Structure 1
Amino acid sequence: MTAPNELRLLPWSGPEGKPCYLSTDDRRGYMSRLADNIESVQLGSAAELLERASEVLDDQNAGPDDMRRLAQQLTGSLRDVLRVATSRGDLLAVSDPHSI
């Protein structure tokens, strides 16, 4: 099994919003691949949301409700992307501790 400092932060939260971690020696196992796929979807969704945000911000007819909804979506997406970045940064540090 992996050492505690080698746990992978997963792209979803557990009960009460607490982070979930994966401990495995198999980086190609089912849970690792599932996490990779979910991270890929989250990053793709963030890219699409960024495009939509530009459109909403350019729309002179966008009202306060549109802006509030956009801010909520951007906040959720930023949270996901930050979790992915943290997880991947941690994985890089474990893979090659001299690279950081």
Structure 2
Amino acid sequence: MAEKYEPAVGEDLRLLPWTSETGKPCYLAPGAEDGMISALADATEERQIRDAAGALGEGEALLADPGAGALALRLALTAAVRALRDALRIAHSRGLRLGVCDDG
């Protein structure tokens, strides 16, 4: 299922790398760039990018192994999909902040 980003109320809001308990996007208000939530968001994005690099490496290794089983491939694909979803959310958030993406 593709993740849908709801339009932000204000153009300067930062899309955070997590969702609410109900699955809705979370945003950070302007002026909070040096705050604790912003630092947590930066650290979360860094972890998600590291996880994506790990999932890529594991997936490449499994694809190169002709004896890889269905379960191993399924687990690797699950990790890759999760990592891709996170990476796209990060790219979307950063694009919005740079003014090169819209919410459509």
- TM-score bracket, normalised by the shorter chain, equals 0.7 to 0.9
| 2:3 alignment partner in structure 1 | none
Structure 2, unmatched stretches of 5+, are: 1-8
| 2:90 alignment partner in structure 1 | 84
Can you list the C-alpha shifts for 1:26-78, whole angstroms capped at 9, x where unaligned?
31111111101100110011111111111011111111111111111111110
| 1:60 alignment partner in structure 2 | 66
| 1:75 alignment partner in structure 2 | 81
CA RMSD of aligned residues (A): 1.5
Structure 1, unmatched stretches of 5+, are: 95-100
**1:21 maps to 2:34:** no
**1:44 maps to 2:50:** yes
More helix by share: 1
The number of residues matched between the two structures is: 92
**1:33 maps to 2:39:** yes
Per mean C-alpha deviation after superposition, the further-off stretch among 82-91 and 63-72 is: 63-72
Q: Secondary structure at the match of 1:32?
A: helix
* Counterpart-to-counterpart distance in 1, 2:54 and 2:78: 15
* Counterpart-to-counterpart distance in 1, 2:32 and 2:81: 32
Partner letter of residue 70 of structure 2? P
Larger Rg: 1
| 1:97 alignment partner in structure 2 | none
* Counterpart-to-counterpart distance in 2, 1:31 and 1:6: 16
Percent identity between the aligned chains? 41
